[in-house]
Structure 1
């Protein structure tokens, strides 16, 4: 069974990706209280591999995942791909379709279940814009991917 609503990993990842300023400080305090690991960043590209690389690099540099452990990188990769599918509405293509994204991302790692045996999970949230590679011709988008570690 999931912990209370404030300990839902996807919810926290989405809020972290979307918030800044005082709101961001509030969510990071909450994540620290839960003893969860997290990071956030920005990426813009027409190439999916650059998006994946930016998120993986941030997660490794901020010690959200251990880059030497295959299971951790594998879990992160699948969470990223699932989040990108949400952003691209299932067509995991950008440049080939003349689309570009400007995204803020958050990676959150924690224990969202009351039963400790359920272990750690990782969530990747993406929030930003997608559209034609012409400023002003984009719209908002959001994606979320969650995987067990």
Structure 2
């Protein structure tokens, strides 16, 4: 079993950057999420919805970012469509963590959520229908999913 420092180093290597995406593109039905997540719970969703009503939905805080995986080709196409460069995407977006409004929106059709299922279910109910986005830490799908979901 790798140390926490080794685990963090691996995740840093496979992290491709962060982006703002529509809630509707998140898919939690894949095998990696099913192995990690509990079944969707109305009770947990309602509890988080009450938290959002009391404290607001803090989706711009780094501690609330969602980890997800994405197909590399689709990510690079979306980066290009957004007018960004894949060579600088990671460093540029990571520099925006303290200024989350600058984190770019990417037109991706599907990402594979690894955590935050109930946060997103509550967010769909809480957020205005014209403001249905979340910030995701995106990682290369074929490499990192095993590191992202298993204790290393």
Q: Structures share a fold, TM > 0.5?
A: no
Relative contact order higher in (CA < 8 Å, ≥ 6 apart)? 2
Higher strand share: 1
User: What TM-score comes out, normalization by structure 2 length?
Assistant: 0.31
User: What TM-score comes out, normalization by structure 1 length?
Assistant: 0.31
Higher helix share: 2
